[in-house]
Amino acid sequence: MSASDASRARTRSPRVKSRSPSATAWTLGRAAKTTATTAHHHESVPIRESKRFEVPSETLMKRMGGPSDGKAGLSGGFRTEEEINQILYEGSKGSKFLEDQKRRDKDTQAKVDKLRGILAKKLLEARGNEEACADAILAQLEETRDLSRVITLVDADAFYAACHQLEDPSLAGTAFGVGGGMLTTASYEARRYGCRSAMPLFLAKLLCPHIKSLSLKPELYTRASKAIFSILEKYGPIAPASLDEAYADMTDYCANEGVTPAEAVARMRAEVYETTGLTVSAGVSPNKTLSKIAADINKPNGQFVIDPTAEACQAFIRDKPLRKCYGIGRVTEMLLNGLGLKTVGDIYKHRCRLYLMRDHLPFRWLLSLYLGLGSNSVKRAKRGDRKSYGAEKTFHPTSDRTELDNMIKRIAKSLAKDVARSEFSGRTITLSIKHDNFQRVTRAHTPGRNIWIHSYQDMVKYGLELL
């Protein structure tokens, strides 16, 4: 076991005037890893003409939408995705946020160029049997297909926002977000303007100046999550993926009750709503990969069932954009785009070049994705499986040491409470600081081979030393 505290702070070091801490996060775990995010607080600004003609790259403009640009509720809004990204780009000119996005875009483009160079060289060295080799692997993977299970991914609709709306019905029909400098979620009304989770609040205000920001209430979400999961467990084994979503294996329930998967899921969703007042959406298929994607199809408060046939599985996923697939983030998407792949179907079309690049890309996994394959094992993670615990905090930039010390103590208190509840100890403590220019500094300390960290006092001691 290892303990790792990651304290994220957008920090301005007292000695570096251009930086100041604005977020801290700690993680305690076996393999310490944490992420903290921070954001500036800016006034809403109108779109304006740039004094200097500048044409941003297509990839930079796409990056402006953030990691949650595929969230349910964004389509059918007041603006197109292109209009949203343009507003975000114009409104963030001159900010450290935009400079960070440009740096990230440049780094990713460098990776794409490097990958293209490697491919060009390998194409010259190709032997001509690449297609046959790729097809042989596809045939091997097809042999592993299992259509026997009914796997459901249940995802609560705008979960954090819905919890607040249950507590305060006056929020119904209003545009609001939950979180501090970074939105954890946005109500569907706010999403119509382009606001979404993992978006800095100052950008959300560019899109929706009247958006209301609510503080996080962890106890509220934990209580609602437990209520939903207790209902899901009536329908079969579950494996929570987060507070607001879980996989459920409903195979035995369907067989014992003599109902179809669609009927079973509809029954479960109705029970969740009647008991908690929250709506959930669901995707049903023979595996977790497809169910995850299917759960978004009829959001909010809907369900989508994929028939348990190889043809139906492949037909469902073939035309999906790569970004819709769990496991393909923005960077991987851009790398694959750089090689000519846009949709899942393009994996087969370009299987020869992917075979050539198998040492640089997850070749077999991509072929499995094209076939619509995935795991159908649904098991709760055991306490011993957890490698780390973490806590984080976003705050206004500051270089005041007393303020930073107090922030370390607040985060340590939260982390120590989680660790005590789980009877967990760790060996490594990590402090991760994110400055207001979005540059990250990470420091770690392992006190000794046989020294375990679990108390609030130890976390404060080592955290302050790392700070």
DSSP lists the bridge partners of residue 154 as 246, 282
Catalytic residues: 245
Q: DSSP for 177-210, please give it.
A: EEESSBEEEE-HHHHTTT--TT-BHHHHHHH-TT
Give the 3-state secondary structure of residue 55: coil
Residue 310: how many other CB atoms lie within 10 Å: 15
**Angle between helix 159-167 and 218-232 (nearest 10):** 110
Exposed/middle/buried for 221, CB within 10 Å: 0-12, 13-18, 19+? buried
Q: Are the C-beta atoms of 5 and 32 separated by less than 8 Å?
A: yes
Instruction: Report d(CA 292, CA 91) in Å as an integer.
Output: 34
Closest CA to 272 of 241, 308, 307, 300: 300
Q: How far is CA 390 from CA 6, 8, 316, 458, in A?
A: 7, 11, 37, 15
Asked whether the bond before 14 is cis by omega within 30 degrees of 0, the reply is: no
If you ran DSSP here, which 8-state letter would residue 319 be given?
T
Rg (alpha carbons) of the chain, rounded to whole number: 24
Two tokens, residue 80: 């197109």
Helical segments of 281-433, H only:
288-294, 310-318, 330-338, 345-349, 351-356, 363-371, 401-422
CA-CA distance, 144 to 193, in Å (whole number)? 44
Angle, helices 330-338/96-125, rounded to nearest 10 degrees:
40
Residue 17 has what DSSP assignment? Answer: T
CA 56 to chain centre: 26
Task: Give Cα separations from 84 to 23, 79, 80, 337 (angstroms).
Answer: 27, 6, 6, 22
Tell me if 70 sits within 8 A of 62, measured CB to CB: no
Burial 406-433 (b: 16+ CB within 10 A, else e): ebbeebbebbbeebeeeebbbbbbbbbb
Contact 208, 193 (CB under 8 A): yes
